[in-house]
């Protein structure tokens, strides 16, 4: 069982082996965390994403899956891109959100990463309610079978931090 820790801050400044990117399926950058990681990491990340897309993910990376690239100029070694689900009140998509955390940790294990930083996946433009996203994220990380020694959940504002802290108790 891996007990995550919480940090209020900027995921692009985390000194970890791997930073998880809440990517869109195109792997070609976007807004929110995805845009911030691409801007801070530089063009090397986008170039590697383009190569991955051309060779393996022509239609895009599937929701709940994960893939790694260089971290470019970030203080991490790798970026693990995962595609979170869009929230739906009509359909339970929580298994896909949990898969983002599990698959990212699986990729981290393959890379030999010992420290990993996650954002609150799907809570931005994909509209996942923060409290529910926190419940799913904390449970998925705690249940993961991984060699990763440290998982940091990096929250961008006080409200997100408090929602995750409540789920850690």
Q: Which residues contact residue 64 at a Cβ distance below 8 angstroms, ignoring those fewer than 6 apart? A: 82, 83, 85, 95, 96, 97, 99, 100, 103
Annotated catalytic residue within 34, 109, 131, 157: 34
**What are the extents of the domains in the chain?**
5-168
- Architecture per CATH, domain 5-168, reads as 3-Layer(aba) Sandwich (3.40)
Q: Per-residue pLDDT tens, the chain, 169 aa: give them.
A: 689 999 999 999 999 999 999 999 999 988 999 999 999 999 999 999 999 988 877 778 999 999 999 999 999 999 999 999 999 999 999 999 999 999 999 999 999 999 999 999 999 999 999 999 999 999 999 999 999 999 999 999 999 999 999 999 8
34 is catalytic: yes
| pTM over 0.95, yes/no | yes
């Amino acid at each position: 069982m891996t007990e995550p820790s919480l940090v209020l801050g900027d995921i692009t400044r985390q000194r970890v082996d791997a930073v998880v990117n809440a990517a869109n399926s195109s792997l070609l950058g976007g807004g929110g965390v995805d845009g911030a990681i691409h801007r801070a990491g530089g063009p090397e990340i986008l170039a590697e994403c383009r190569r991955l897309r051309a060779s393996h993910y022509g239609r895009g990376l599937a929701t709940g899956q994960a893939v790694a690239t260089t971290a470019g100029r970030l203080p991490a070694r790798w970026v693990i891109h995962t595609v979170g689900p869009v929230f739906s009140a009509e359909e339970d998509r929580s298994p896909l959100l949990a898969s983002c955390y599990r698959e990212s940790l699986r990729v981290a294990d393959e890379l030999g990463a010992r420290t990993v930083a996650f954002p609150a996946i799907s809570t931005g433009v994909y509209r996942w309610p923060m409290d529910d996203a926190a419940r799913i994220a904390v449970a998925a990380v705690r249940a993961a079978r991984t060699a990763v020694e440290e998982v940091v959940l990096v929250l961008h504002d006080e409200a997100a931090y408090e929602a995750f802290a409540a789920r850690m108790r």
